[in-house]
Amino acid sequence: MPENKPSRTVDEIYASLVARIKRQYGDEISEQEAHEAARNLLGLCNKIVDMEMEHLK
């Protein structure tokens, strides 16, 4: 039986996303821009989920 991994917190997931964006773009973007990109991406994902939920009603 596979072991359950401990769940990551929302803050850990967000920080991981910011770090991944920063790695992808390196010195092309600032830390602040990486945070903004992460927020924008999460907002887009939220919109997609909302649209899908409306579609399923």
- Radius of gyration, CA atoms only, the chain: 15
Alpha-carbon span 53 to 57, nearest angstrom = 7
> Can you give the pLDDT of all 57 residues of the chain as single tens digits?
456 777 999 999 999 999 999 999 999 999 999 999 999 999 999 999 999 999 998
Question: Quick count: other Cβ atoms within 10 Å of Cβ 53?
Answer: 9
Entry pTM: 0.79
Residues 6+ apart with CB under 8 A from 8: 16
